Structure 1
Amino acid sequence: MISNLSRLNFLKVGILAASIAMVGTESAAAQSTNAAAGSAQSVQSWDKTFPKSDKVDHQKVTFKNRYGITLAADVYLPKNRGNQRLAAIVVGGPFGAVKEQSSGLYAQTMAERGFVTLAFDASYTGESGGEPRNIASPDINTEDFMAAVDFIGLQSYVDRERIGVIGICGMGGMALNAVAADKRVKAVASSTMYDMGRVMSKGYNDSVTPEQRAQALEQMSRQRWEDAANGKPAYQPAYNKLKGGEAQFLVEYADYYTTPRGYHPRAVNSGNSWSVTTPQAFMNMPILTYIAEISPRPILFIHGEKAHSRYFSETAYAAAAQPKELLIVKDATHVDLYDRLDKIPFDAMTAFFTKNLPR
């Protein structure tokens, strides 16, 4: 059992909205997630948080990443595709979400606009494999994008020289990291992006002091002994369960993840939880170090004007090399760009990928 982090709760160390005080065993939510997932056995019925489009064909697929973890994904194909090979877009995110939520909505919408798209569950989450459940890794989650490119590039209906990537929220940073290393990807867009390495190690607006960082690492390091002794990880309290008085952006997260608008039982953020030690892997992994190496391939950064997280895209944009574009969506919050069809700039994304994934 770990002690309270007092001044340093995980509201300051990332999107971990509650203190990890007094967590000794798996929460009931985490146990439920463990029982429901882990074997990459896909649910075949339509269980998305958005309606099925009659303009695309949909199929569920699985493939392995280079760590041997089986990833579950949805492929969306335009119905009017004929026999031609099409440009493809891999979509991932948000961090702690599943493909039945935002990434699936983005993928289906972009398929309606003529692209083959693939939305995947990250390793250890959703319908993808990996044990224990609800673990994140900057390396493995970056690899997940590359593995998705492996898979989609082998499909007969895809032109493998015309592959793009979209990363949403926390997986937006992982997408940029993947594209910096994976030269097969010709264009990348991030939407409402979080840099998870930065927020986990420095907190929101880089507010965590060196002393607080050291304290957090001390707590998580000792928690590893507890986990090793128990043979399983301890989990944080259930996510997005509001008690009153939370910051507005946490209210907005809960409005998406815990209501019919965006709730999904397999999502970490929908009342389940990450392991207590999940942030440790991110604490000294600055994932956007090599963002300039994406050039000369283009980047489109999309962020809401009123998003608490806007500074992540602005500083990443400043560090990136040309060609690059920063699109600020008027009056939009962070969560608006998860599912608000009147806010998500699909026209701009379509133009971006049409231009940069030419025939």
Structure 2
Amino acid sequence: MKSVTFKNRTWDVAAELRLPPGFDETQRYAAIVCVHPGSSCKGQTAGLYAAQLAEQGFVTIAFDASFQGESGGEPRYLEDPATRVEDVRCAVDYLVTLPFVDDERIGVLGVCAGGGYAVNAALTEKRIKAVGSVVGANIGALNRAGDAIATLEAIGKQRTAEARGAEPMITPWIPNSTQERDAAGITEANVDVFQAVEYYRTPRGQNACAPNRLRFTSMGSVIAFDAFHLVEELLNQPIQIITGSVPGVFGSKKDGQELYRRVKGEKDLFVVEGATHYDLYDQPEPVAKAVAKLVPFYRKHLGA
């Protein structure tokens, strides 16, 4: 693995490029862009999948989203769906400049919201030849599930305040600690949020590039985003959808089923029995099952 950067507009996007065992720079390899969840970074679950796929013969790249982690872009802590999708395109732009990457054999893999962004990018980025989604979630639909109008009104008031000189509102994505989670009364019955804190805010998956900070006003763009809009018309690449069997509030099981139903072309839905959303982030057995499904999928459609 080596640290690299590529451009999105005027800023640098920080990434980790992984090369397969026995790498030969005179050869041309299939490559996979790995897209991290919302609130995450390249060193967490996207990097884990990138590492395991590289071990199987692929060149992989995982990156920090623009405005987040070690990537550039202002303002900080923005979750901007259009830019998140553009990050994917820019990662492809970078890969096609590498002499050892076959530009006809590029795929994408996204986890959670990154799965939704990966699908959305593939709608218009036809240099992507195969799409993988692990517990892929439609982040816009998730955030419309509550009182979206009230949230949008609050965003408008906050933008007015900031336009008049107030400090930006930076909020946490999830409770900042297990103690804060428990004090809020979040129990294992709310499996996704409960395990999100376990993953992001304890040594299990904690990473300095994912500080649990979100610019509140950016949620307006998130609420209006639909990762699966026009899937029926524009997604012509083969897709491998992977979910856990345990449902949760983040909706990845439901979103995976919806995506499978809506895709008109070549598709497969693989359900990892007994697995929760966050089990498929980093737990060895569920991740191994997902990778065992992804590798032959990418080999079939990209070669290796």
TM-score, length-normalised on structure 1?
Answer: 0.78
Q: Is 1:84–2:27 an aligned residue pair?
A: yes
Of 69, 72, 77 in structure 1, the residue corresponding to residue 14 of structure 2 is 72
Of 291, 294, 300 in structure 2, the residue corresponding to residue 349 of structure 1 is 294
Counterpart for residue 288 of structure 1: 228
Q: Does the 8 A contact of 2:39 with 2:173 survive in 1?
A: no
Please state how far the C-alpha of 1:232 moved relative to its aligned partner. 4.6
Q: Does the 8 A contact of 2:174 with 2:196 survive in 1?
A: no
Q: Is 1:274–2:219 an aligned residue pair?
A: no
Which residue identity is paired with 1:81? F
Q: Which runs of 5+ in 2 are unaligned?
A: none
Q: Does the 8 A contact of 2:32 with 2:107 survive in 1?
A: yes
Q: Does the 8 A contact of 2:122 with 2:235 survive in 1?
A: no
In 2, Cα distance between the equivalents of 1:237 and 1:352? Answer: 36
Counterpart for residue 66 of structure 2: 123
Which one has a larger percent helix, Structure 1 or Structure 2? 2
Counterpart for residue 6 of structure 1: none
Matches within 5 A, 1:231-310: 232-237=167-172, 239-241=174-176, 242=181, 243-246=183-186, 247-268=190-211, 272-308=212-248, 309=251, 310=253
Q: Which runs of 5+ in 1 are unaligned?
A: 1-57
Please state how far the C-alpha of 1:307 moved relative to its aligned partner. 3.6
Counterpart for residue 63 of structure 1: 6
Deviation string 1:15-48 (CA, Å, 9 cap, x unpaired) is xxxxxxxxxxxxxxxxxxxxxxxxxxxxxxxxxx
Matches within 5 A, 1:127-166: 127-166=70-109
Q: Is 1:191–2:134 an aligned residue pair?
A: yes
In 2, Cα distance between the equivalents of 1:95 and 1:170? Answer: 6
Q: Does the 8 A contact of 2:30 with 2:58 survive in 1?
A: yes
Counterpart for residue 150 of structure 2: 215
Counterpart for residue 28 of structure 1: none
Deviation string 1:169-215 (CA, Å, 9 cap, x unpaired) is 111111100001001110000101110111122x2xxxx3xxx3222
Q: Does the 8 A contact of 1:90 with 1:149 survive in 2?
A: yes
Counterpart for residue 41 of structure 1: none
Please state how far the C-alpha of 1:291 moved relative to its aligned partner. 1.5
Deviation string 1:243-287 (CA, Å, 9 cap, x unpaired) is 24212321111111111110112204xxx3201212101222223
> Secondary structure in 2 aligned to 1:188?
strand
Change (3 A) 1:295 1:249: closer
> Secondary structure in 2 aligned to 1:186?
strand
Q: Does the 8 A contact of 2:247 with 2:276 survive in 1?
A: yes
Q: Does the 8 A contact of 1:295 with 1:323 survive in 2?
A: no
In 1, Cα distance between the equivalents of 2:247 and 2:281? Answer: 12
Larger displacement relative to structure 2 (277-286 or 252-261): 277-286
For this pair of structures, how many residues does the alignment match?
290
TM-score, length-normalised on structure 2?
Answer: 0.91
Please state how far the C-alpha of 1:240 moved relative to its aligned partner. 2.7
> Secondary structure in 2 aligned to 1:342?
helix
Q: Is 1:312–2:255 an aligned residue pair?
A: yes
In 2, Cα distance between the equivalents of 1:128 and 1:78? Answer: 25
Which residue identity is paired with 2:134? S
Please state how far the C-alpha of 1:106 moved relative to its aligned partner. 0.6
**Percentage of identical aligned residues:** 36
In 2, Cα distance between the equivalents of 1:337 and 1:232? Answer: 37
Please state how far the C-alpha of 1:146 moved relative to its aligned partner. 0.5
Please state how far the C-alpha of 1:231 moved relative to its aligned partner. 6.1
In 1, Cα distance between the equivalents of 2:81 and 2:172? Answer: 22
In 2, Cα distance between the equivalents of 1:255 and 1:234? Answer: 25
Matches within 5 A, 1:45-56: none
Which residue identity is paired with 1:78? P
